[in-house]
Amino acid sequence: MTDGHRITIEPSEQRVRAVHGDQVLAESDRALVLHETGCPPRYYIPAEDVRLDLLAPSETHTHCPFKGTASYWSLPDAPDLVWSYPEPKTGVAQIKDHLCFYRVEVDRTP
């Protein structure tokens, strides 16, 4: 990237789950881990492994100079809980059609 900013993406070796309250919103063994300078690792889960039927599109959009413009989804009690980059920049094209949650559970068992 630029000015010491770096993003790497790799397949997760662990199963990940996104849970809100007692509801499983996503579960996948095909997630991607995005490492970005100055940020915690983020797990991007394929859309097919996310309960999109439980999420409502949000009006929120944010712009990252390195990844592109993000769109968000919400639950009634959790606004902007999930985001994705529908048209990610070339350097992070792998995250297209993947969604990211602020918190996920990572199964670290072999």
Backbone angles phi, psi at 51, to 5 degrees: -80, 75
Burial class of residue 85, CB neighbours in 10 A (0-12, 13-18, 19+)? buried
How high is the pLDDT of residue 66? 95
- Please tell me the distance from the alpha carbon of residue 36 to that of residue 27, in angstroms, as a whole number: 23
Q: Which CATH number fits domain 7-107: 2.30.40.10, 2.70.98.60, 1.10.10.10, 2.170.150.40?
A: 2.170.150.40
Residue 6 pLDDT > 70, yes or no? Answer: yes
4 vs 48, residue with greater confidence: 48
The reported pLDDT for the residue numbered 4 is 82
Longest pairwise C-alpha distance within the chain: 42
Q: What is the pLDDT of residue 2?
A: 56
Of residues 56 and 110, more confidence is placed in 56
What does the pLDDT average to over 19-30? 94
Q: Do the beta carbons of residue 87 and residue 97 sit within 8 Å?
A: no
Q: At 11, list the tokens.
A: 């397949």
Beta bridge partners of 98: 46
Per-residue pLDDT of 27-65, as tens digits, reads 999 999 999 999 999 999 999 999 999 999 999 999 999
Select the more confidently predicted residue: 10 or 108. 10
